[in-house]
Structure 1
Amino acid sequence: MLPLLPLTLLSLLLLPAHAVHQYIVTNRCPQQIPLYIAGELQGNLAANGGSVTKTYPGPAGFFYTSANGGNANATGTTRAGFFDDGVYYLVIDPSHFNTGLSITPLNHAPNNGFCVTAACTVGTCTTAFQQPPTRFPPPADTPPDPPVYRCPSSPDYGYIIEFCPGGAFPPLPPPATVSLHPNGNGAKCADVRGAVFADGTAVQIYDCNGTPAQKWVIGRANTKVQLAGTNFCLDAGSTPGNGVGAKIWTCYDNLPAQAWYYTDDNRIALTDQGLCLDLTNGVLTNSNQLQTWQCTDNNNNQVWTT
């Protein structure tokens, strides 16, 4: 086995003078996606072929998108990474696979294992790291083993990066069944009053008891909040506003009263209405009905953890 060199040492040994790295980034996904490079938003790429070219004096940071359940901080995303001397690789988050991704060296045909396309289109692929690597094998006359790839083309390097190389997002896994706790309080749960599964039954705070009245299905970002095993959803009513009591109602697609957004900071917000699911007056007493209220930063009454 070849010895491994630390990234910092390899950088010093291998960085060619005035090397230019060109990246052609293309979106094959069926919808517009935000493009991030090294944690910075670069704008949106149009669906079905939108493209942008980026040039850097050396290897750029990770390329990724927050689309399809990914996050701006790169968690839950598939990432394209690059290193000196023509090294390229992919990283996936095993907890969430948001998009397929491929890297193809520009203007270099595959040659004896070098300059081949690195691609990962399913969350179980073996062609990607599950966390960012900290070191790489030194250059050799034989190609590295995946998930490391190399295309020696000094002094300049070019790559084609494609999101959704197959033209579609991977299907999202079914959301887990969870309890909803006010601000991390594991003793209290969002509860369907009296376990009466019928249109209009209030949603309240109650001691956690593990019953079906406290089991919900919720996803990150745009989501319904559905009572597990039923066709009832958390509903804000036909005229939502401050102080309107939360209830369950038969689930309907595209119904604004059931269109929620579960934020990264654990708020359940009514989509595009500025209202959040709120623990009324912060009272944890059993049977206190939940409500909608104007979303407010640092309001712990609006924090719901799973």
Structure 2
Amino acid sequence: MIHIRFVATALLRICFVFGLIWVTNAQGARQYKIVNSCPSTVAFYIGGLFDSNLATGASTTKTLGVNAGFFYVFANGGNAIGTRAGFYGDNNSSYYYIVKDSAVFNTGISIAPNYQESGGFCPVARCDNVDCTNAFPQPPTRFPPVSNTPPTPPVYACPHSDVSFTITFCPSGAFPTPPSAKAIHPSASSTKCVDVRAANYANGTPVQIYDCNGTGAQKFVFNNEATKIQVAGTNFCLDAGTTPANGVGMKIWQCYDGLPAQRWYKSPNGQIILEGTAYCLDLTNGNLSNSNQLQIWQCYDGNGNQIWTQ
């Protein structure tokens, strides 16, 4: 009886192992080779979990599913999710793409399939600096249907069942130049600056107008695309609150990726607009007095209270 139970248990274990192998294959497991070409050791993550420290010139290979999560590193003074390699596989698709955060662009990155580019499929995706145009500013929420026509960048496809990828951090061999921190001035005065009150870097601290003094409380990192406006050297961002409306006072708050209250872009005429709304960063009542808290207000073309320079 004991012998029969032992054999039965062994058979169950064998079936379980082969079942796992079958499920992995059915889900399209593939190889990902990760290479560190950065000038220093980087902490490497997959899908939000720390994997290992990779020395300069080192590599590691993982066999994972087609939707393995983001690949990224903590390096160069940025946070761990500054620049990411993403993958998506469904219905025989093999999509890959890069996500960049303009405020914390910490490393360049490239994704190279093991197939040569042909007919627009399987190109190398590469983003070396914050100004690259072939990367998403935030993770995509949908992908194009499978087609005989290659997708439009910044999404790429390599539709081969046995495709594998090499992900290289710092493909140029160097860290990118960090985005420059700049002061933000109202159009009415270049001697006045957007300012974090009392340099108090804490959730809810008001953002005001103040005499320019060159301190970190008046230095912000952002560019003209939709992105966070981050207080340089901190993890705090300009925040318009959960319910945008005329007169809502500006404050700083801990930065969060994709948070609607923190996503801004600059229009060609100098307005700083809260993405997805009709509200602009506004100099309250046009008052240039020190400590006047800024607000958001409905955008109007030609409203000097809403025009900002750097």
TM-score (norm 2): 0.53
Match of 1:37 in 2: 46
Residue type of the alignment partner of 1:79? R
Match of 2:86 in 1: 81
- How has the CA–CA distance of structure 1 residues 172 and 213 changed in structure 2, closer, same or farther, with 3 Å as cutoff? closer
Asked if 1:115 corresponds to 2:113, the answer is: no
Match of 1:149 in 2: 156
Q: Deviations over 1:105-134 (max 9, x none)?
A: 02x111111111011112121111111111
SS at match of 2:104: coil
- How has the CA–CA distance of structure 1 residues 140 and 40 changed in structure 2, closer, same or farther, with 3 Å as cutoff? same
Asked if 1:181 corresponds to 2:196, the answer is: no
SS at match of 1:95: helix
2:110–2:167 CA contact under 8 A, matched in 1: yes
2:66–2:87 CA contact under 8 A, matched in 1: no
Distance 2:77 2:125 in 1: 23
1:20–1:157 CA contact under 8 A, matched in 2: no
Match of 2:145 in 1: 138
- How has the CA–CA distance of structure 1 residues 210 and 143 changed in structure 2, closer, same or farther, with 3 Å as cutoff? same
Greater shift in the superposed pair: 89-98 or 23-32? 89-98
Residue type of the alignment partner of 2:126? A
Question: How far is 1:96 from its partner?
Answer: 2.8
Residue type of the alignment partner of 1:40? L
Greater shift in the superposed pair: 143-152 or 209-218? 209-218
**Which runs of no fewer than 5 residues in structure 1 stay unpaired?**
1-14, 189-207, 221-261, 267-306
Distance 2:152 2:220 in 1: 36
Residue type of the alignment partner of 2:100? I
Q: Deviations over 1:234-287 (max 9, x none)?
A: xxxxxxxxxxxxxxxxxxxxxxxxxxxx67589xxxxxxxxxxxxxxxxxxxxx
Q: Greater share of helix residues, 1 or 2? A: 2
Tell me the number of residue pairs that the alignment of Structure 1 and Structure 2 aligns: 187
Asked if 1:165 corresponds to 2:184, the answer is: no
Question: How far is 1:185 from its partner?
Answer: 4.5
Distance 1:209 1:151 in 2: 53
1:41-56 correspondence to structure 2 within 5 Å: 41-47=50-56, 49-56=57-64
SS at match of 1:139: coil
Residue type of the alignment partner of 1:121? D
Question: How far is 1:62 from its partner?
Answer: 0.5
Question: How far is 1:214 from its partner?
Answer: 6.1
Residue type of the alignment partner of 1:22? Q
Distance 2:58 2:94 in 1: 25
SS at match of 2:61: strand
Distance 1:148 1:187 in 2: 37
Distance 2:207 2:28 in 1: 58
SS at match of 1:119: strand
Asked if 1:127 corresponds to 2:146, the answer is: no
Asked if 1:93 corresponds to 2:101, the answer is: yes
SS at match of 1:99: coil
SS at match of 2:67: coil
Q: Which runs of 4+ in 1 moved over 6 A?
A: 217-220
- How has the CA–CA distance of structure 1 residues 50 and 217 changed in structure 2, closer, same or farther, with 3 Å as cutoff? farther
Distance 1:69 1:140 in 2: 40
Question: How far is 1:59 from its partner?
Answer: 2.1
1:1-306 correspondence to structure 2 within 5 Å: 17-47=26-56, 49-72=57-80, 74=81, 77-84=82-89, 85-106=93-114, 108-154=115-161, 156-176=162-182, 179=196, 180-181=199-200, 183=202, 184-186=204-206, 210=211, 212=213, 264=235
Distance 1:34 1:65 in 2: 5
What CA RMSD, in Å, does the superposition of the two structures yield over aligned residues? 3.0
Q: Deviations over 1:192-232 (max 9, x none)?
A: xxxxxxxxxxxxxxxx9646396668899xxxxxxxxxxxx
2:38–2:169 CA contact under 8 A, matched in 1: yes
Question: How far is 1:174 from its partner?
Answer: 3.2
- How has the CA–CA distance of structure 1 residues 210 and 135 changed in structure 2, closer, same or farther, with 3 Å as cutoff? same
